Amino acid sequence: QQQVKQSPQSLIVQKGGIPIINCAYENTAFDYFPWYQQFPGKGPALLIAIRPDVSEKKEGRFTISFNKSAKQFSLHIMDSQPGDSATYFCAPGGSGGGADGLTFGKGTHLIIQP
């Protein structure tokens, strides 16, 4: 059973557009919802994360929206730039999740066209 479902697998957006990447999870005990950004040849980097006590968090051009009842959270990139082209991963979990809480989605390959 797939614990984390990330979509879409790939996404092409014009510069200035708003790509949206979605992540669905199963475990209702999860309490920490991060997104990671990975550039070719580099390790993933923690980009932004949210706790379930809020429904939205913004950091610069990056926004997480969280829907606890639907067990989903999304990453939005405002005013997207070619430099945002990367692979993005979600990894829902938390300190009490054990190995289940350390599972990553399969990734979304995002291309921002100039």
Partner 1 sequence: NAGVTQTPKFQVLKTGQSMTLQCAQDMNHNSMYWYRQDPGMGLRLIYYSASEGTTDKGEVPNGYNVSRLNKREFSLRLESAAPSQTSVYFCASSTGKEQPQHFGDGTRLSIL
Q: Does 41 bind partner 1 (CB under 8 A)?
A: yes
Q: Does 93 bind partner 1 (CB under 8 A)?
A: yes
Can you tell me which of 7, 11, 22, 104 binds partner 1, judged by CB under 8 A? 104
Can you tell me which of 28, 69, 83, 99 binds partner 1, judged by CB under 8 A? 99
Pick the closest to residue 82 from 35, 19, 34 (CA basis).
Answer: 19
In the complex, minimum distance from the CB of residue 49 to partner 1, in angstroms, rounded to a whole number: 8
Can you tell me which of 75, 105, 110, 112 binds partner 1, judged by CB under 8 A? 105
Give the pairing of strands 62-67 and 10-14.
unpaired
Q: DSSP assignment, residue 112?
A: E
Pick the closest to residue 24 from 43, 11, 38, 8 (CA basis).
Answer: 8
